[in-house]
Amino acid sequence: MSTADFVKRLIRADVQAGAAYQVADASGMVKLDAMENPYAWPEPLRAELAHQLADVAMNRYPDPHALRTKEAVRGWMGIPAHLDLLFGNGSDEIIALVVSNFIGSGRAVCAPDPSFVMFRVLAEQYRVPFVPLPLTAECQIDRQAWLAALADTSPGVIFIPQPNNPTGNLFLEEDLRAVVTATDALVIIDEAYTAFSEREHLAWASEYPNVLIMRTLSKVGLAGLRLGLLIGDPAWIHEFDKLRLPYNINIMTQAAVQCAMAHHDLLESQSIAIRSERTRLTELLSQRGFDVWPSQANFVIAIVPKGQARTVFEHLKHSGVLVKCLDGGHPLLHGALRITVGTPTETDALLAALDQSPVLGR
């Protein structure tokens, strides 16, 4: 048999029919498509990091529990001592650990629709049923529809991003509490964008026995380190830790995060700058005729007038500015471009390109 024959016989049919996760090539472009912090570390801090990494024992396995890193992150985020932490190689690994727990259980994974794509992708990869939960026209929880779906499907876990990606908004607190108290499922509140939000839910991990909080360092300027975390009662963390691969957080990441936590004031000041630039970006896009949705994240949704989102996206790409076109992905996102908040200079480049668009040219 040929290699192709072996592949066809041994690789699952749904895997063969699918495609790998695609990341757009942004070489040489103004990159506003991936919700990254646009600010680099200043030279003195980069030199300090290089000095610390020079002393890392790369010939040794890392601390399997990343204890020093946990304490540094715990201190910065104000995580109380009675809650425990679990680190993952980005939030994706945390989601995978949680979803894998429900393989063969008959219980489903639920998440808002639309929401972060990896909730569905990982459920499908692990062959755990995925049940989308609809949002209203205002991108809020459809409470009655959610409660009916939860009663009907009895899911094992519900992922709820706060704020939501890609819509950028926080869900109404009373709706969120109604969902948490109406289900016996595990509810994971994903706070990837909490640094840019007016509300956080860490206390809920103590208030509700079925709530865990998921966070990441990616959006505050450490995306390349790939560190996500799950926060909650030690009883939950103990069980999910059994599914975690050993040494999943490499020694370089641990050292770099400890360095970053010692300079958390820099991360905080950059997040404040991004929130300020988000306001400016929203105002300038609105002046150009976009319907810009209120955002609690480090990105905005801009609805392109005249139904020409794809045309504007391609024009921006040709002009060296990369954003995310969401048009066609979901009915709520008709005409939508998702634009990461960049530096003022990057915002100016985006606007200059928009002003030359054949659709929006001024």
User: Quick one: residue 292, left, alpha or beta (phi over 0 = left, psi -120 to 50 = alpha)?
Assistant: beta
Task: Give the pLDDT confidence score for residue 357 in this predicted structure.
Answer: 86
Pick the CATH number of 56-262 from 3.30.559.10, 3.40.640.10, 2.70.70.10, 2.60.120.260: 3.40.640.10
Q: Report the 3 state secondary structure along 342-354.
A: CCHHHHHHHHHHH
Long-range (24+ apart) CB contacts under 8 A made by 280-283 are: 280/344, 280/347, 281/339, 281/341, 281/347, 281/350
Mean pLDDT across the chain: 95
Kindly indicate the confidence band of residue 27, based on its pLDDT and cuts at 50, 70 and 90: confident
Looking at this protein, which amino acid is placed at residue 95? I
Query: What's the confidence (pLDDT) of residue 362?
Result: 53
CATH 3.90.1150.10 residue window(s) in the chain? 8-37+265-355
> How confident is residue 21, by pLDDT bands cut at 50, 70 and 90?
confident
Is the predicted pLDDT of residue 272 greater than 70, yes or no? Answer: yes
Which pLDDT belongs to residue 305? Answer: 85
For 324-344, write each residue's pLDDT tens digit.
Answer: 999 999 999 999 999 999 999
Domain with CATH 3.40.640.10 in the chain: 56-262
User: Does 176 have pLDDT greater than 60?
Assistant: yes
How do residues 184-233 score in pLDDT, each as one tens digit? 999 999 999 999 999 999 999 999 999 999 999 999 999 999 999 999 99
Beta-carbon neighbour count of residue 295 at 10 Å? 25
Q: How far is CA 285 from CA 34, 198, 212, 314, 348, in A?
A: 19, 22, 36, 17, 11
Query: Are the C-beta atoms of 223 and 36 separated by less than 8 Å?
Result: yes
Q: Model confidence over 44-77: pLDDT tens digits?
A: 999 999 999 999 999 999 999 999 999 999 999 9
Q: In this structure, are residues 174 and 181 in contact, taking their beta carbons and an 8 Å threshold?
A: no
Q: How confident is the model at residue 361 (pLDDT cuts 50, 70, 90)?
A: low
Report whether 95 contacts 119 (CB < 8 A): yes
DSSP code string of 215-228: EESGGGTTGGG-EE
Which residue type does 7 have? V
Element (H, E) at 232: strand 227-232
Distance, in Å, from the CA atom of 169 to the CA atom of 290, rounded to the nearest integer, reads: 17
Confidence of residue 1 (pLDDT cuts 50, 70, 90): confident
pTM here?
Answer: 0.95
d(CA 130, CA 127): 9
| Residue 112 preceded by cis peptide, ω within 30 | no
Predicted confidence band at 358 (pLDDT cuts at 50, 70, 90)? Answer: confident
Tens digit of pLDDT for each residue in 308-324?
999 999 999 999 999 99
CA 36, CA 221: separation in Å to the nearest integer? 7
Q: Report the C-alpha gap between 187 and 181 in whole angstroms.
A: 10
CATH superfamily of 8-37+265-355: Aspartate Aminotransferase, domain 1 (3.90.1150.10)
The alpha carbon dihedral of 286, 272, 207, 105 has a sign of: positive
